[in-house]
Amino acid sequence: MSSRESAFTCPGVPWISVIGGKLMLLLFLLAPIAASAHVGSPDFYYDGYAGPYHLLVTVRPPAVVPGIAEIQIRSLSTQVNQIEILPLRLIGQGAKLAPTPDVTERSKGDPQLFTGKLWLMTRGSWKVQVNADGAQGNGELAVPIAAISATSMRMQKSLGVLLAPLGLLLIVGLVGIISAANRDAVLEPGATPSPSQRRRGFLITTVAAIIVVGAVIFGNFWWTADASHTERLSYKLPHLQLSLQSGNVLQLALENPNNVNWRQFPSGMDDPDRVRLDDLIPDHGHILHLFLVRMPDMTSFWHLHPRQGEGANFYEQLPSLPAGHYQIFADIVHHTGFAETQVGEIDLPTIEGNLLSGDDAGGPQLIAEKKISQLSDGYRMVWELDSTPIRINQPTWFRFRIEDRNGNPATDLENYMGMAGHAAFIRSDGQVFAHVHPAGSISMAAAELAQDDGSNAAKDMSVAMTGMNQATSSAEITFPYGFPSAGDYHIFVQIKRAGKIETGSFLAHVEN
Amino acid sequence: MSTLTAQAPSQIAAVPSARTRRIPWFIWASVAAAGCIVSGVYWDISWHQSIGRDTFWTPAHLLIQFGAVLGGFYAAWLIFSTSFSRNPAAKQASVNVLGFRGPMGAFIAAWGGVAMIVSAPFDNWWHDAYGLDVKIISPPHTLLAIGIAGIMWGSVILILGQMNRAEAGLRRRLQLLLLCAGGFIIIQDMIFKLEFTNRVVMHSAIFYVVVTLGMGIFLEGIARASGHRWARTAMTGFYTVVFLLALWIFPLFPAQPKLGPVYQHVDHMVPLHLPVLIVVPAFVLDLIFPRIKDWNKWAQAAIEGIIFVVVLIAVCWPFGTFLVESQAARNWFFGTQEFAYFLDPAVPSVRNVFYQGDSTRAMFFLKMGIAVVGGILSTRIGIAWSAWMSRVRR
């Protein structure tokens, strides 16, 4: 049982729970789902500072909402004694009304690892507030996340096999009880029912059986209606409408299949978390981040920033790029901090386009390497990869070092859209995509919203941003991320040096 | 009230002999099971109003589960001990359900226990598929509620099976236990109606519709079957006392919300609201019953249904005004300052204003008419139900 922030059918009256029969008889596994901020990559990774303490926070949101999110926090400092976590809405009044925080459990084998669980009661934008306490005092940070239901789980066969006979027993037993109530129960001990009593009992039993079967059929209708209602509220991956105009202008029309009230509101009231397309906010300087990658070789990769036209239409003058079948990912952020990736595919002819400008970057012939990616001017990007196999769901810092032509650390790195670099992790079949920054897989616009409440949090954000900026003065960039599923991935890492944006391309094999 | 004597002495506990003066252990167990479940449900709701988050192992859940296990255990013991008994008298005083034998109430309680158990993995899967308690009234919760009803009505029927065969002394004690079990059913009924019985709804017709619907079945059915002169007053009084004690005792225990957003400051267990004053119409019904008990059944139902609604309005309307508008009600005694942590400050109960549930005057009177008709029909069903319960012998 649980309670929730909601509008009430009868205002002023507490929401009532009955009983939470949460038996741990059976454990169920849910298939990975599509997440809103990325594609096929539901977990959130955040690298930041809670005051003086450097933390890597992993949030694994529930597959369905309301549900329980799993939180894993790794402290880089040995001076953290205790970490508390609590869930808050990302914006609005709910962002300020904190419940009692939960104390995370410290791993006995790994004292710098802390784990906990949080209940997320409604769909939409949330933040996980992390309070760290240690030898250097207290600090806090907030991790923006999205809570969505993106799956409709069918009942497992094993559970069905368990419940079906029990349900049948209940039906037959109920009819048997009604029969006995009308036949034996009212007889004096030792007496036997007369023929007329038997006939009456049989008649009532027949009617009762019909009513019970009717109730079961009604229950099935009810169940089906509930399931379809839940399905309507499930998050659906939006698909772009794409077309090529005037030879090299790519037109994108955003889709909004999630334009529903996620919570129950009185008639006429709109859910503040409702997904709209007229509320987009810039995420590190751009309303839309567009990624094009030619499939299946992934040698032609582009990170572009289309201009917004009317409504949900965007236009991009493509650079010169080779013909092929392109997979497209478009990252947007709503004013609620809810981040989405829209997907699409298009066959493009050879494009004779414009020179890249602004923050647009990419390359037509990026050769993916396992460790060293060649950049321009003899520079190179080195993936500091050890021999340990990469496994799924492992929060990992992916470290890349930029070297000059002499093998020395590069000294001319600059910020690229406000941070040291950008990375895209794409599975070879295009079914997994994540746009990751040095601060993690969260949207930076949502991160700024998450820090809005309270001066301490804002200060910590500035510390985190400072940390990111400092990374540009060093020659090493790190991206915290965990692969959601096994397979072969391309990692595209983009940095800016000497006024030029460079893209490194790497191959990664991920095991279960 | 007619007095019945036991007619089929038996050597087994399920069928106490006519000379037995002691109440069998399983009767106590059945009442205890019902009490545990009702207490657990109350505690669980308070838990969700105060703390929010729970697990399988919260004390409230454990109390409910203990009640289910206790109910299932005594029922299973009675059924198996009777089914496999070599004593013919034991079997003669039992009913036959799917080849098993035992007291009628034991089968109902056993069915309720199985339903509660089945609802657990079903509900767990429901959480995984559709989310943690997205809705209060869902198929698995309904199965759970029906299972609880099975345990509670099993207790009532088990007591009746014994009481209707018992001699005067034992009968009287069983009668009191029956009223206690009936009181638990009234409490459970009023808990399920909580969403519509808050003080701010007392000037809306829906309050009277919800309180009245079904009440006649439980109140009239058990009261008449018990044969006790003040049965209605006793059962509703039991509900009133339990709710009052809980209102005053629960806030003594500390609690903090574990879910957000937290709209109301909570530092103690938040109790459910003050009991609805159904004890007053119940008392009036007890008063008039001797005068109407020989009337035509429909006439009895009509007069009782109307009286119940009219007296309920006469009592709750002004009492609602006091609770909502008077500062004298803002204290621990009336508990009108107790709010669940998740209640938005804009909702009527927090603002202490009445909920406007009737769009027009015509709608108000239409709903009140439904309350009266519902009261009459519920009472008529209760009268028929009591006729069967009065005849239960096994």
Determine, for residues B136 and A26 on separate chains, whether the beta-carbon distance falls below 8 Å.
no
* Closest CB from B45, B96, B97 relative to A16: B45
* Residue in B closest to A231 by C-alpha: B130
Determine, for residues A88 and B392 on separate chains, whether the beta-carbon distance falls below 8 Å.
no
Determine, for residues A25 and B394 on separate chains, whether the beta-carbon distance falls below 8 Å.
no
Determine, for residues A16 and B394 on separate chains, whether the beta-carbon distance falls below 8 Å.
no
Give the minimum alpha-carbon distance from A219 to chain B in angstroms, rounded to a whole number.
7
**What value does the mean pLDDT take over residues A127-143?**
94
CA distance A295 to A300: 8
Contact A492, A423 (CB under 8 A): yes
Cross-strand pairs, B298:
none
Residues 326-385 of B with CB under 8 A from A: 339-344, 347-351, 355, 357
* Residue in A closest to B266 by C-alpha: A99
Instruction: HSE, CB side, 13 Å, CA atoms: give it for residue B315.
Output: 17
Cross-strand pairs, A120:
A67
Determine, for residues B342 and A186 on separate chains, whether the beta-carbon distance falls below 8 Å.
no
- The CA-based diameter of chain B, rounded to the nearest angstrom, is 68
Phi/psi class of residue A247: alpha, beta or left (left: φ > 0; alpha: ψ in -120 to 50)? left
Contact B184, B41 (CB under 8 A): no
Q: At what angle do helices B361-391 and B205-212 cross, to 10 degrees?
A: 10
Give the minimum alpha-carbon distance from A147 to chain B in angstroms, rounded to a whole number.
11
The series of mean pLDDT values per 10 residues for chain B, 394 residues long, is 38 48 91 96 94 88 93 94 87 89 95 92 85 75 92 96 88 95 96 92 96 95 96 98 98 92 92 97 97 95 97 97 96 95 88 90 95 97 95 90
pLDDT at A232 (0 to 100): 84
Q: Do the strands A500-511 and A390-391 form a parallel or antiparallel pair, or are they unpaired?
A: parallel
CA distance A358 to B21: 96
CA distance A105 to A107: 6
Closest alpha carbon to A420 in A404, A400, A392, A449: A400
Contact A300, A361 (CB under 8 A): no
Residues 61-100 of B with CB under 8 A from A: 61, 64, 89, 92-98
For chain A, say whether B58 makes contact (Cβ under 8 Å): yes
* Residue in A closest to B124 by C-alpha: A22
Residue type, A224: T
CA distance B9 to B89: 8
Selected residue of B4, B47, B95, B158 to mutate for chain A interface (largest A Cβ count, 10 A): B95
Contact A485, A509 (CB under 8 A): no
Query: Using 50, 70 and 90 to split pLDDT, how confident is the model at A319?
Result: very high
For chain A, say whether B261 makes contact (Cβ under 8 Å): yes
CA distance A191 to A486: 71
Task: Provide the token pair at B140.
Answer: 């698995």
Catalogue the long-range contacts made by A373-382 (C-beta closer than 8 Å, 24 or more residues apart). A373/A493, A373/A504, A373/A505, A373/A506, A375/A402, A375/A497, A375/A502, A375/A504, A376/A500, A376/A502, A377/A405, A377/A498, A378/A404, A378/A405, A379/A403, A379/A404, A379/A405, A379/A410, A379/A497, A379/A502, A381/A493, A381/A495, A381/A502, A381/A504
Give Cα A431 distance to the centre of its chain.
14
**ipTM of the complex as predicted:** 0.84
For chain A, say whether B193 makes contact (Cβ under 8 Å): no
Residue type, B273: H
Task: Provide the token pair at A158.
Answer: 């094993």
pLDDT at A7 (0 to 100): 29
More confident residue, B56 or A19: B56
Cross-strand pairs, A480:
A397
Give Cα B394 distance to the centre of its chain.
23
* Closest CB from A4, A63, A173 relative to B97: A173
Task: Provide the token pair at B247.
Answer: 């209102």
pLDDT at B198 (0 to 100): 94
Residue type, A174: L
* Residue in B closest to A26 by C-alpha: B121
Give the minimum alpha-carbon distance from A143 to chain B in angstroms, rounded to a whole number.
16
Helix (H) or strand (E) holding A466: helix A455-473
Residue type, B223: A
**Could you tell me the pTM of the whole model?**
0.80
To 10 degrees, the CA torsion angle through B115, B120, B122, B124? 170
> What residues have CB less than 8 Å from B91, skipping those under 6 apart?
B82, B85, B101
pLDDT at B5 (0 to 100): 37
Selected residue of B46, B49, B127 to mutate for chain A interface (largest A Cβ count, 10 A): B127
CA distance B310 to B302: 12
Determine, for residues B139 and A222 on separate chains, whether the beta-carbon distance falls below 8 Å.
yes
Burial class (CB within 10 angstroms; exposed 0-12, middle 13-18, buried 19+) of A318? buried
DSSP SS3 for B319: helix
Helix (H) or strand (E) holding A449: helix A444-450
Determine, for residues A98 and B262 on separate chains, whether the beta-carbon distance falls below 8 Å.
yes
Determine, for residues A181 and B64 on separate chains, whether the beta-carbon distance falls below 8 Å.
no
pLDDT at A104 (0 to 100): 97
Determine, for residues A219 and B130 on separate chains, whether the beta-carbon distance falls below 8 Å.
no
Contact A467, A374 (CB under 8 A): no
Contact A292, A346 (CB under 8 A): no
DSSP SS3 for B168: helix
**What value does the mean pLDDT take over residues A300-308?**
96
CA distance A48 to A463: 8
| Whether residue A146 has pLDDT greater than 60 | yes
Determine, for residues B261 and A179 on separate chains, whether the beta-carbon distance falls below 8 Å.
no
* Closest CB from A28, A87, A149 relative to B260: A87
CA distances from B225 to B148, B179, B303, B382, B384 (A): 21, 10, 19, 10, 10
More confident residue, B138 or A330: A330
Task: Provide the token pair at A257.
Answer: 């299949």
Give the minimum alpha-carbon distance from A276 to chain B in angstroms, rounded to a whole number.
24
pLDDT at A247 (0 to 100): 86
- The CA-based diameter of chain A, rounded to the nearest angstrom, is 107
* Closest CB from B56, B128, B256 relative to A28: B128
Supply the DSSP symbol for B252: G
Give Cα A52 distance to the centre of its chain.
28
Closest alpha carbon to A447 in A48, A77, A73: A48
Determine, for residues B260 and A98 on separate chains, whether the beta-carbon distance falls below 8 Å.
yes
CA distances from B366 to A428, B207, B209, B343, B369 (A): 66, 13, 10, 30, 5
Chain B neighbors of A226, CB-CB under 8 A:
130, 135, 138-139
Residues 198-227 of B with CB under 8 A from A: 198, 200-201, 206
Cross-strand pairs, A403:
A380, A409
Chain A neighbors of B340, CB-CB under 8 A:
3, 14-15
| Whether residue A29 has pLDDT greater than 60 | no
Determine, for residues A12 and B89 on separate chains, whether the beta-carbon distance falls below 8 Å.
no
Closest alpha carbon to B268 in B280, B276, B256, B260: B256
User: Where are any strands of DSSP class E within A205-357?
Assistant: 241-245, 249-253, 289-295, 301-304, 307-308, 313-317, 324-333, 339-348
Determine, for residues B393 and A20 on separate chains, whether the beta-carbon distance falls below 8 Å.
no
pLDDT at A472 (0 to 100): 53
> What residues have CB less than 8 Å from A457, skipping those under 6 apart?
A129, A140, A141, A142, A450, A451
B216 φ, ψ (degrees, to nearest 5): -60, -35
Dihedral (CA of B18, B20, B22, B26) sign: negative
Contact A232, A260 (CB under 8 A): yes
Place of tokens 């009592």: B315
Determine, for residues A185 and B161 on separate chains, whether the beta-carbon distance falls below 8 Å.
yes
Selected residue of B104, B133, B138, B152 to mutate for chain A interface (largest A Cβ count, 10 A): B133
Q: Do the strands A339-348 and A324-333 form a parallel or antiparallel pair, or are they unpaired?
A: antiparallel
Instruction: HSE, CB side, 13 Å, CA atoms: give it for residue A262.
Output: 26
Supply the DSSP symbol for A399: E
pLDDT at B242 (0 to 100): 97
Contact A372, A381 (CB under 8 A): yes
* Closest CB from B49, B93, B119 relative to A21: B119
Task: Provide the token pair at B26.
Answer: 């399983």
Peptide linkage before A306 cis (omega within 30 of 0): no
pLDDT at A1 (0 to 100): 37
For chain A, say whether B56 makes contact (Cβ under 8 Å): yes
Contact B261, A93 (CB under 8 A): yes
pLDDT digits (tens, 9 = 90+) for A381-436: 999 988 889 999 999 999 999 999 999 999 999 999 989 999 999 999 999 999 99
Give the minimum alpha-carbon distance from B314 to chain A in angstroms, rounded to a whole number.
22
Task: Provide the token pair at A296.
Answer: 């299946």
Task: Provide the token pair at A154.
Answer: 């069918």
Residues 4-33 of B with CB under 8 A from A: 7-8, 10, 15
| Whether residue A66 has pLDDT greater than 90 | no
Task: Provide the token pair at B236.
Answer: 């509703």
Contact A55, A131 (CB under 8 A): no
| Whether residue A457 has pLDDT greater than 80 | no
| Whether residue A465 has pLDDT greater than 60 | no
Selected residue of B43, B130, B210 to mutate for chain A interface (largest A Cβ count, 10 A): B130
pLDDT at A261 (0 to 100): 81
More confident residue, A353 or A473: A353
* Closest CB from B97, B118, B120 relative to A177: B97
Task: Provide the token pair at B357.
Answer: 């549930």
* Closest CB from A11, A67, A97 relative to B261: A97
Give Cα B354 distance to the centre of its chain.
27
> What residues have CB less than 8 Å from A416, skipping those under 6 apart?
A359, A422, A494, A495, A496, A501
Instruction: HSE, CB side, 13 Å, CA atoms: give it for residue B335.
Output: 23
Instruction: HSE, CB side, 13 Å, CA atoms: give it for residue B219.
Output: 37
Determine, for residues B136 and A18 on separate chains, whether the beta-carbon distance falls below 8 Å.
yes
pLDDT digits (tens, 9 = 90+) for A247-299: 899 999 999 998 888 776 655 667 778 888 999 999 989 999 999 999 999 99
For chain A, say whether B136 makes contact (Cβ under 8 Å): yes
Contact A380, A501 (CB under 8 A): no
